[in-house]
Structure 1
Amino acid sequence: MDATDLDYRARTRSGCIPPELVSRLLEHGHIDVVELHAGRGEWFCALAWARLLGEQDRQADALEVLAPYLATGWWTAVVAVAELLEGWGRVDEAIEITRVRMEAGHPMALESYTRLLARHGRADEAFTLLLPHIGELSLGTLVDVAAAAGRDEEAAALVSARTEHRCSDFPWCCRGLDRDTAIGVLAKIRERQGRIDEAIALLRTSTMLLNNREQLAALLARHGRLDELRATAATDDSRYAVQQLARLLEERSDVEGAIAAYRQADGLVAHDPNSAFEVAQFLARHGRGNEAIDVMRLQADIRNGDDWILHALSELYLGQGRPEDGLAHLDALAAARGGEEYWDLYWIRLPLIAARDGVDEAIAQARCHPESATWYAALHLAELLVGAGRTEEAVAVLRPHAPANRHDLAGYLIDLGRIEEAVAVLHQDRPRPPQPSATAWSDEPPF
């Protein structure tokens, strides 16, 4: 095994059995297949099999399964083994394998090692280890370890020094630890110390960073500061405060109040499709599906080429049992565009046709589209067929397009019990990771 190859295949989900299909194999009872491929370089099979062995109290066998992966030095395998050992109560061993990688200079090992120490009564030691590396690692790690060590004030002093920094060349001048980020971290410490007013005041000085706006809104909601949250929602042009206000009111069973909060942000909802989608989902969740349709229909009229908006609208029409109205709306938009639709918009109507006229009619109409023979159209046709319990036909639709549709095709083959075929499909595309170039630059893509 090679760490670079393992990492490339795990990150790209290519040439391997991905985790969602490993889960599918296990759900269908194919434990023997997972065990077999765990010993054939299939990382996600090995991890799942090791976890199962651990649950059966066969820890030695589990470690033996992962040993070849761990021997490559691949960091993902190190983390996985450490997590298993920790979960089994073998904390000293988990700490040791992480320490070895840290001392070898692995860039991610210090944070993992210190967090592990902090979780098991050695937080003071972990905090001391982190101190020389301020500026090289995430402030979040320092702050979390400081909490376990009872050294919040020391951490606050270190973070406060960063709040004076004025960026001259973000992020290079400060490794991303700019003033606004430091303020957000310091506010987290103050909230943890129970100094809520101070945390709020800090975040109010740093509203340029969207993360801090979100943090402020969440903080106000967590502490039930309803009036302050209302005031923030009235002046905040992002959707965070309105969203938190509506959620807080919903948790308090004040559905009408939550809807009113959204309604008061009509300008935001009209101009921000993400906010409109949240409103629509909220309305649908509380039995007001027709109002939800009105909200998304307005967005579809404003942005009639945005496929995700049309998809959300169509889902709402389906949920309300109104497929014919959904199709009428899509037909009107298509007519406004000259009657032609690319597949990325056309496919949205297929579930509506299926709901109104049946799957066969939806498939027949789809076959008339100029892009119906493409790999991406095949995905949607297969989904319709599977939804109707016609998985064999879905496989026949996807088969000519492998390996482009390999994960979907393999998943359906697993459902049919055709495991060897499924694995063969997944291994059709088994790329090697890009090799480092001898030149300083390359015009080849990194994937």
Structure 2
Amino acid sequence: MVLRGAGAQELCRSGQFGRALEVMEPFAATGWQTALWAKAEILVRAGRADEAWDLVCPDEEGRASPYVCRNAAELLAKAGRVDEAIDLLVPRTGEGWIRRVLVEITEGRGGDERVLELIAPHAEAARRSRDEGRRDYSRGDAQELQAQVLERAGRADEAIRLLGEDIAGRRFLSQNALTAYAELLARHGRLDELSELATGQGAHSVMDAYAGALRDHGRAREAETVMREAIAADDWVGYRAWLSSFLLRNDRLDDAIAVAEPGFSWYDCSNLLTPLVYPLLERPAELLYLLEHPLTVPHHGHEEFQHWWRAFALAGLGRVEEALAVVEAHPDPWTDSRIVRAGLLSAAGLLTEAAAELRDLDTIKAREDLFEVLVLQGQAAEAIAVHPTVAEQRAVKAKTESTLRREDGYSDEPPF
């Protein structure tokens, strides 16, 4: 569960933990596990770790669940009880995702040597599997995790040596190891080794790390040249994506558009319009400029995204009536245009007007959105009062999930 989005999270960020607990308490009081974990996290952030642990401490049945153990370990680590967090995960380190959790929750909190002891056998098993001509994908990321922990433990040279030997000997299981090695070299200024790596067979995996390292070392013009030369030699979408983002960060929006434009109408995974849009969502004037640029073409198969982007760009500029006209002209993408209207008013900073729209609707979705608006207005008590109960939310979810599906498993109505 998200801590009611902009509600409890925003209150925590501003240090208002008491009010954040007020927001969460009605949900936690129902015994809803996700709400209990959310409340526990607020308590930890408020410095009340013992209360948090008492609230969610897993029993024997809970400890049998890897997901409960993961949540409990994260909470313990945040409370500074790192050894206990590791103890919870030790029986499950044979699972790759648990190893990743182990590395993540201990970062910057101590325990690196113990984590290395737990990961090392899996890294060695991965190397052996390649020596024997096998691919043990259950240990696919163990080598890069080992290098990651070595680096943060102050043993970067050892990490570079170990992973470098794996790369040179082709003793790795996925391109992720190659990417991790390139990023490791970049962080430690090993540009000559990185340049050699980028000209090899794994260029698609490491060229962005090389260009990024050049940029970070004050050689931005060289980084741009390297990537433009890569595009000229091999017009791969990944090169264009990196260069367009690089140009955008340097306030060269026209240049970024020119580089990304060939990919604006491609399918989802390679479409280059979205990576330019999202950094501009808080910069509505530039977003509108992008959307109205003559080179910007409809997002392949998802033209409705451009309508959404345009409407909220206009709202962000205070041009609410024009934003509403976009929604009225293109109603199909919107599940409820009245909800969208309230969202546009909120995006324009007209919170009072947005709240009035949502109060008039009085649907479950409207009440959820009204909760967010009221929290932003500092009206936590009223926000709690209007928010749908857990039972109401579950009833709506059950109704939605019961939508008839076709024989192929897809629905003719949202959600598809």
TM-score (ref. length: structure 2): 0.67
Select which of 272, 289, 294 maps to 2:258.
Answer: 294
- Aligned residue identity for 2:9: S
| C-alpha separation in 2, matches of 1:287 and 1:162 | 47
Are 2:244 and 1:280 equivalent residues in the alignment? yes
Are 2:190 and 1:204 equivalent residues in the alignment? no
Q: Give the equivalent residue in structure 2 for 1:161.
A: 128
- Aligned residue identity for 1:260: T
- Aligned residue identity for 2:221: E
Secondary structure of residue in 1 paired with 2:388: helix
Are 2:8 and 1:22 equivalent residues in the alignment? yes
Q: Deviations over 1:44-91 (max 9, x none)?
A: 543454455456665553343335x65762645555445555665667
**Number of residue equivalences:** 382
**Residue pair 1:159, 1:186 contacting (<8 A) in 2 also:** no
| C-alpha separation in 2, matches of 1:208 and 1:94 | 29
- Aligned residue identity for 1:31: L
| Residues 47-56 or 281-290, more deviating | 47-56
Alignment of 1:338-353 (within 5 A): 342-353=303-314
Alignment of 1:60-75 (within 5 A): 60-67=50-57, 70=59, 73=62, 75=65
Q: Deviations over 1:181-216 (max 9, x none)?
A: 677678878986738456424313438832133133
| C-alpha separation in 1, matches of 2:344 and 2:234 | 33
CA distance change for structure 1 residues 347 and 247 in 2, over 3 Å: closer, same or farther? same
**Residue pair 1:50, 1:66 contacting (<8 A) in 2 also:** yes
Q: Deviations over 1:269-298 (max 9, x none)?
A: 8431x4323212211222323211222234
Deviation at 1:244, TM superposition (A): 0.8
Q: Deviations over 1:92-132 (max 9, x none)?
A: 86677x39x959xx989997999899x98897xx7xxxxxx
CA distance change for structure 1 residues 321 and 109 in 2, over 3 Å: closer, same or farther? closer
| C-alpha separation in 2, matches of 1:84 and 1:182 | 24
| C-alpha separation in 1, matches of 2:197 and 2:97 | 40
Q: Give the equivalent residue in structure 2 for 1:303.
A: 266
- Aligned residue identity for 2:28: A
CA distance change for structure 1 residues 305 and 380 in 2, over 3 Å: closer, same or farther? farther
Select which of 384, 389, 394 maps to 1:420.
Answer: 384
| C-alpha separation in 1, matches of 2:234 and 2:352 | 44
Largest Rg, 1 or 2: 1
| C-alpha separation in 1, matches of 2:146 and 2:97 | 25
Select which of 329, 333, 355 maps to 1:368.
Answer: 329
**Residue pair 2:358, 2:366 contacting (<8 A) in 1 also:** no
CA distance change for structure 1 residues 342 and 409 in 2, over 3 Å: closer, same or farther? farther
**Residue pair 1:38, 1:46 contacting (<8 A) in 2 also:** yes
| C-alpha separation in 2, matches of 1:95 and 1:223 | 29
| Residues 224-233 or 423-432, more deviating | 423-432
CA distance change for structure 1 residues 425 and 290 in 2, over 3 Å: closer, same or farther? farther
Q: Give the equivalent residue in structure 1 for 2:183.
A: 218
- Aligned residue identity for 1:163: R
**Residue pair 1:187, 1:203 contacting (<8 A) in 2 also:** no
CA distance change for structure 1 residues 95 and 356 in 2, over 3 Å: closer, same or farther? closer
Q: Deviations over 1:280-339 (max 9, x none)?
A: 221122232321122223432x53999964445556696775845742537x846x99xx
Q: Give the equivalent residue in structure 2 for 1:145.
A: 117
| C-alpha separation in 1, matches of 2:137 and 2:333 | 48
- Aligned residue identity for 2:215: E
Q: Give the equivalent residue in structure 2 for 1:176.
A: 138
Select which of 386, 390, 411 maps to 2:350.
Answer: 390
Q: Give the equivalent residue in structure 1 for 2:402.
A: none
**Residue pair 2:307, 2:326 contacting (<8 A) in 1 also:** no
- Aligned residue identity for 1:265: A
Are 2:227 and 1:227 equivalent residues in the alignment? no
Secondary structure of residue in 2 paired with 1:389: coil
| C-alpha separation in 2, matches of 1:313 and 1:392 | 31
- Aligned residue identity for 1:204: A
CA distance change for structure 1 residues 61 and 156 in 2, over 3 Å: closer, same or farther? closer
**Residue pair 1:296, 1:309 contacting (<8 A) in 2 also:** yes
Q: Which runs of 5+ in 1 are unaligned?
A: 1-9, 127-140, 434-441
The two structures, once aligned, show a CA RMSD in angstroms of 5.2
Q: Give the equivalent residue in structure 2 for 1:437.
A: none
Secondary structure of residue in 1 paired with 2:131: coil
CA distance change for structure 1 residues 261 and 387 in 2, over 3 Å: closer, same or farther? same
Q: Give the equivalent residue in structure 2 for 1:244.
A: 209
Q: Give the equivalent residue in structure 1 for 2:24.
A: 34
| C-alpha separation in 2, matches of 1:47 and 1:379 | 30
- Aligned residue identity for 2:21: I
Deviation at 1:378, TM superposition (A): 6.0
Q: Deviations over 1:210-267 (max 9, x none)?
A: 2133133224324433233223323446533221112211221111111112112114
| C-alpha separation in 1, matches of 2:122 and 2:289 | 60
Q: Give the equivalent residue in structure 1 for 2:401.
A: none
CA distance change for structure 1 residues 164 and 325 in 2, over 3 Å: closer, same or farther? closer
CA distance change for structure 1 residues 221 and 64 in 2, over 3 Å: closer, same or farther? closer
Q: Give the equivalent residue in structure 1 for 2:393.
A: 429
**Residue pair 1:163, 1:183 contacting (<8 A) in 2 also:** no
| C-alpha separation in 1, matches of 2:361 and 2:163 | 59
